[in-house]
Amino acid sequence: QKFQMMSEIKLPMKKVKAETQSPKNLIIFSKPKVGKTALLADLDNCLIIDLEGGTDYVDALKIKATCVEDIKAIGEEIKKAGNPYKYIALDTITALEDICIPYAEVLYSKKAMGKSWFKQAPDGSLAKDSGKAQYGNILNLPNGAGYSYLREAMTKIIEYVKALAPRIILVGHIKDVLLEKSGGEFTSGDLDLTGKMKRIITSQSDAIGYLYRKGDQNILSFATNDSIVCGARPDHLRNKEVIISEMTDDGLVTSWDKVYID
């Protein structure tokens, strides 16, 4: 195998400046009905791809998708329009996991081991000995074999969306996880995704913020502790809590400029 060499390599002799100070890939998760969608609706030039019907009650740049084919079709229209959005939010990636199951089955069916997944009977219906008929759902394959295809499907779709705008926001729900520490049990809040998928998505993010309400304010926390798993690479967000919105007499006032500073 031949490798193409770079035309010229120049080693840095001094520190190279950061390319950006704001997160390119942001994850926001919270309990239901805290105000994630309303917050996104107030972010200028942010398209919300609504996967759960959560935008019905807000004015926003929004479009609904119920399957992978919808997301791809939306992406093609965005490309035709010249990629006009600065931000694209997937609301929610918790729902995206379910949406990607049929796509994962298609990916599996293209492999040698999955060639009989959609096997047809002579009349064109699904054969009784097909994988789909036997297991119903790819996640029911023995030994959890189907989860790797779900991870592949989700990764492909998220990477597809990332190419549509400079900055991507993945919105998720919180999942309570029972942990043990110092002989006692406590509940920790984490992003509601399947194990390895959660690790892949969070490792590729620049900041993970937990959104919670305190009085009339919504706080976006990037401070990791025993109860909530979050964090951030950018200096202005690392271990910080940001008042991201506040309900006033004039309505909701958001402060996205505290997150996106450039």
Per-residue pLDDT of the chain (262 residues; tens, 9 = 90+): 555 655 688 888 887 776 778 999 999 988 878 888 889 999 999 999 999 888 888 899 999 999 999 999 999 999 999 999 999 999 988 889 899 999 999 999 999 999 999 999 989 898 999 999 999 999 999 998 999 999 999 999 999 999 999 999 999 887 654 334 334 333 335 566 766 777 777 788 889 888 888 888 999 988 876 556 667 888 899 999 999 999 888 888 999 999 999 8
Output the pLDDT for position 176.
52
Residue 103: per-residue pLDDT: 95
Give me the residue label for tokens 């049990």. Answer: 185
Angle ∠(246,250,253) on CA atoms, nearest 5: 30
Which pLDDT value is given to residue 182? 39
Give residue 4's pLDDT.
61
The confidence score (pLDDT) of residue 180 equals 40
Query: Residue 178: its pLDDT value, please?
Result: 37
48 residue type, one letter? I
How much is the pLDDT for 14?
A: 82
Task: Quote the Cα angle for 145-160-131, to 5°.
Answer: 25
Cα separation, 65 vs 68, in Å, equals 8
CB pairs under 8 A, 24+ apart, for 181-184? 181/226
What per-residue confidence (pLDDT) applies to 181? 37
250: phi then psi, degrees, rounded to nearest 5: -95, 5
The pTM for the full model equals 0.85
- Per the CB < 8 A criterion, the answer to whether 192 and 98 are in contact is no
pLDDT for position 232? 82
State residue 252's pLDDT score.
84
DSSP notation for 100-128? THHHHHHHHHTSGGGTTTTPBPTTSSBPT
The secondary structure of residue 228, as a DSSP letter, is B
Q: What pLDDT is attached to residue 18?
A: 67
**Residue 89: predicted pLDDT:** 96
Beta-carbon contacts of 188 under 8 Å, excluding residues fewer than 6 positions away, are 176, 177, 178, 179, 226, 227, 228, 229
